[in-house]
Amino acid sequence: MDINNLGFEIISLPFGDLSVSGDTVAYPIQNIRGELSQSDRESRADKLMVLDPVTKQYTTYQYKMIGWVKVGETIPTTDTITPGSAAFYKKASSTGTFTVAGKVLSKENEEVALTQGLNLVANPFPVEIRIAELRGTLSASDRESRADKIMVMNPVTKAYTTYQLKTSTGWTKEGESVTTVDTISPRNGFFYKKVTQAGSLVFSRPF
């Protein structure tokens, strides 16, 4: 997977851990490799920032010479990222690629828990998914203040495109009045804004 620019990018890891049996298994952060910037100096190392869905706080990992290390610790992390979760990746120097190897989820649906407010989630499958097919325990309304929204970042421009879950047209791109035909790529994460109580987002396997 390419990292197109310096700075922040929202990424997803649409695979499970090959070494663990079962379908919904977390992916080890330590397995992320590739053309990355590795350094014991904070300013020169790539970083990964994972949002806790409950506390809304980020945990940061630095790519040191011994591997991925959680900030504040001194040993390689054993932490993982679950399917359907996303993270911010901060590229410290030149553009490049990161490599992940894992197994494709075989279950028909992947359900991701949502809390009220902003959630950082991701496409859990290694192919594009249609935004219009996102479902779950969601809040739909033609009134903007009462509808759930998703915000997808363009990895090049860093600008966000917002989609509102309307009662009349389903998932609709901001400024438009018809159901969107846009998709989310397998490498992209996005923000989900839940306007009311906690719920869940369901991804249906597109293959």
pLDDT tens-place string over residues 86-117? 888 888 876 666 666 666 666 778 888 899 99
Contact between residue 159 and residue 149 where contact means Cβ atoms under 8 Å apart = no
pLDDT top residue among 63 and 6: 63
Work out the mean pLDDT of the chain and round it to a whole number.
Answer: 84
Cα gap 86→115, rounded to integer Å: 15
Phi, psi of 144 (to 5 degrees): -55, -40
**pLDDT tens, residue by residue, 116-129:** 998 988 888 878 89
pLDDT of residue 105: 64
One-letter amino acid at 42 equals: E
Measured in whole angstroms, the distance separating CA 128 from the mean position of its chain's CA atoms is: 13
pTM score: 0.78
pLDDT mean over 14-22: 57
pLDDT class of 194 with cuts at 50, 70, 90: very high
pLDDT at 16 over 60: no
